[in-house]
Structure 1
């Protein structure tokens, strides 16, 4: 694989978990990281870790993805500074609550859909012009096995991730005549704070670390990776075709 030196990579949810690990891994390959998250302290820790490893100082963007105009401004700022975007890793998401559908509060459902779905669409809307200016734009959008399993009590999160995968499939089809490759990512159960919230009785030592997931995602960001419109299962290290997912 070629180095990512000179590539501009934006990662959402970059202050912890898979987003943090992916930002660190992309920076290690020479990418200029644009790190987006709500938590300033986590972003600063990421920047310190990147610089300590010899990477370029990250561009830190403290931002709440429920702020839709801020997403629009982000695209404008990237355009003004670099004129393009090479890599998007849309990782940020919220779980909501694990409970029967009829017991989910309206504000909880609405927040899950806003953060997980609407902000993803807004990122697409804001960043697509920049990604198509790249000679080899790559977009990875984090999903979940919950989108397909439709397990009891996971309603809002499962619905949001199913919607995200539909957006990705449409976007990939729309971009099929361009160099931009777009794929959904199912990381599988990973040792993150969200997983601990969802399955509190689980032993985290039995799960892969975020860095293990990041190691699988970095090759998907390289210019020589030309697969698009697929679902990448990290635990299986393979792409699935949506027309025949199994």
Structure 2
């Protein structure tokens, strides 16, 4: 794929899991990469160290994307400290607890919606003026196949991801004239902390490797496989791609 040298990226949830893999993939392409994290400073700093090991510049910022003022403060720091931003990847996420609609705590619903829907809206809004300065900019939303499945017990998570995808489609239309490409990547089960918790809760599988044999291509999707799709979408090889939703699940759904 074409080089990302000279470009600057922000990956929310970039300290662990899919976000970390995306941050490293962008850095390997030559981009300067900032990662935003909520609590795990150690993981974020490890990601930055690994970014810098590729020869790229790395930065870590603590910010809760579900908080409007923290989103605005993060945008302000990105502008003042990095001076530019042309890639924004919304990868921060939390799971819901698997309760039915009848049994869902309203506080849980609000929290999940803030992280997956309101937070990306707030952060996108705050960073749009900076991103519009770039000749080309990219925004990628990491969603989920849950919006295809709409599984019982997944109300808050499915609602949050569906709202996120709606936001992406609206932004793709609004910002195309400003040179922005906006796309969605929707993974299935991925070998992350969240994925491991999911298979334990839903299938009683303690070791996610036990799910390899029943998975497409003989293995559970890796974070790096999702990151490769994101890396393609923000490259010159995807210069005419926008408003697309790419499912990364091995053809399961």
Provide TM-score, normalisation by structure 1: 0.91
1:227 matched to 2:250? The reply is no
Distance 1:189 1:119, change over 3 A: same
1:45 matched to 2:46? The reply is yes
RMSD (Å) for aligned C-alpha atoms: 1.7
Following superposition, the deviation at residue 236 of structure 1 comes to 5.4
Distance in 1 (alpha carbons) for counterparts of 2:237 and 2:80: 27
Q: Name the residue aligned to 1:75.
A: 75
CA contact (8 A) 2:68 2:119 kept: yes
Matched residue of 2:178: which SS?
Answer: coil
Q: Name the residue aligned to 2:104.
A: 104
Q: How does 1:111-126 map onto structure 2 within 5 Å?
A: 111-126=111-126
Q: Which ranges of structure 2 fall in alignment gaps of 5 or more residues? A: 213-219
Following superposition, the deviation at residue 4 of structure 1 comes to 0.7
Following superposition, the deviation at residue 211 of structure 1 comes to 1.4
Matched residue of 1:176: which SS?
Answer: helix
Q: How does 1:191-230 map onto structure 2 within 5 Å?
A: 191-200=191-200, 201-202=204-205, 203-205=207-209, 206=212, 207-225=220-238, 226-230=240-244
Write out per-residue CA displacement over residues 221-245 of structure 1, whole angstroms, 9 at most, x where no aligned residue. Answer: 11342211111112359xxxxxxxx
Distance in 1 (alpha carbons) for counterparts of 2:199 and 2:156: 16
Q: Name the residue aligned to 1:12.
A: 12
CA contact (8 A) 1:2 1:222 kept: yes
Following superposition, the deviation at residue 150 of structure 1 comes to 1.0
Following superposition, the deviation at residue 148 of structure 1 comes to 2.3
CA contact (8 A) 1:137 1:223 kept: no
Greater fraction of residues in helix? 2
Write out per-residue CA displacement over residues 80-100 of structure 1, whole angstroms, 9 at most, x where no aligned residue. Answer: 234431111100011121111
Give aligned pairs, total: 237
Distance in 2 (alpha carbons) for counterparts of 1:28 and 1:50: 8
Following superposition, the deviation at residue 198 of structure 1 comes to 2.4
Deviates more, 1:94-103 or 1:198-207: 198-207
Following superposition, the deviation at residue 197 of structure 1 comes to 2.2
1:173 matched to 2:187? The reply is no
1:56 matched to 2:68? The reply is no
CA contact (8 A) 1:182 1:229 kept: yes
Q: Name the residue aligned to 2:27.
A: 27
